Amino acid sequence: MVMVCYYNHLLTPVGGVRFSITKPSVLRAETNNPMASDLSSDRSVFRGVSSSSPIRRRDLVFVVNPRGANGRTGKEWKKLLPYLQSRLGSDCNICESLTSGPSHAIDITREAIREGADAVIAVGGDGTLHEVVNGFFWDGKPVANWNTEAVHSTALGLIPLGTGSDFARTLGWKNDPREAIDRIARGVRSRIDVGVISREGEGSHYFINVADIHLSAKAGFYASRYKKFGNLCYVIGALQAFIGHHNQDLRIKVNEGEWQTLSQVTALCVGNAKYFGGGMKITPNADPQSGSFEVVILQDFKWYDFILKLHKLYNGTHLSLNNVTSRNVYTIEVDEISGSGNIFIQSDGEHLGFLPRKLSILPGAIEMIC
């Protein structure tokens, strides 16, 4: 028998959103009836039930976006439950939490870390992973376990089930959720870098994959409206973004140096990992364990350049083009020159608004189950 538990919670705004936890409730799910643990979307799960075994059982919190990939994530998750329970149930407290809307995964993750979970596993696409990563931080600092004597930290895990799985591609993982569960069962951890995006007078935002500016960010903004078309949404978004697009002069400051001007920028991509846009190898030399970003800058691209050179963008050979440059950085500030206020920025496919922004690397900021 596997214990699957949940907390009824009360949202209380304290400079943002925090959780006030009430008494836990427990749902018992027989291994031969996996659907019994299918909780409604307003039941958030944070911590498992303590085991009577002298060996401490791991508390694993699975954050699931049931509406991801047009509902496919929720359906695939239900199918995975029997294997998950058989593979992990004897050694772990399996805790399920279904998100109910935007940013819910952030709140769930923060509470799980504070309550001492061994790992928070994002179940879904890059959007769910992005929210879970942001849940590891609060007010510009890592979230800490409320138990100051705890000897373990909370790790990040991933079961890719969404529209895009670009971060998993960087790690060389197959799009196989059972293989992901096997990794979680082994529990091997490795430190990975995280990017942080800041702007004067605003809170920090974190990313694990790729942040991008101008055309590609605008394309991602439009692509989010067409998720029902699967990976085709990225193509549709790019076509829509090209309507009325103009290359722009930008200025950048690298590693706290002097400002420099970049002429006719089409897109500027800051990679902690290699892929974005459903498999485009945009920052091919990026490594989330290197302690630095790879910044790739595309200049003076025309609409037909993307059609003629799209294959190079997907296989990562575009760095050989004359109007593409690449460099490794620790920090980069990006601002526009025209003052239009309409240069898009996004990270991990999430729209963040417009320039200016500063992007910095946080080396080894999170332990990840690899």
Q: Strand ranges (DSSP E) for the chain?
A: 2-12, 18-29, 58-64, 92-98, 119-124, 137-138, 141-142, 155-160, 189-198, 205-207, 210-214, 248-254, 259-271, 293-299, 324-329, 331-336, 344-347, 350-354, 357-369
How many CB atoms sit inside 10 A of residue 338's CB?
11
Cα 155 from Cα 368, distance rounded (Å): 5
Cβ atoms of 292 and 359 within 8 Å: the answer is: no
Cα 271 from Cα 61, distance rounded (Å): 28
Q: Which of the residues 126, 193, 212, 348 is marked catalytic?
A: 126
Query: Catalytic: 176?
Result: no
Q: Which two tokens stand for residue 317?
A: 């050979």
Cα 245 from Cα 218, distance rounded (Å): 9
Amino acid at 250: L
DSSP code string of 253-314: EETT--EEEEEEEEEEEEESSS-BTTTB-SSTT--TTSSSEEEEEEES--HHHHHHHHHHHH
Cα 203 from Cα 199, distance rounded (Å): 7
Cβ atoms of 111 and 138 within 8 Å: the answer is: no
Cα 145 from Cα 142, distance rounded (Å): 10
Beta bridge partners of 24: 7
The pairing of beta strand 18-29 with beta strand 58-64: unpaired
Cβ atoms of 343 and 336 within 8 Å: the answer is: yes
Distance between first and last Cα of the chain: 27
Q: Which residues contact 302 (CB under 8 A, 6 or more apart)?
A: none
Max Cα separation, the chain? 65
Could you give the residue numbers annotated as active site?
126
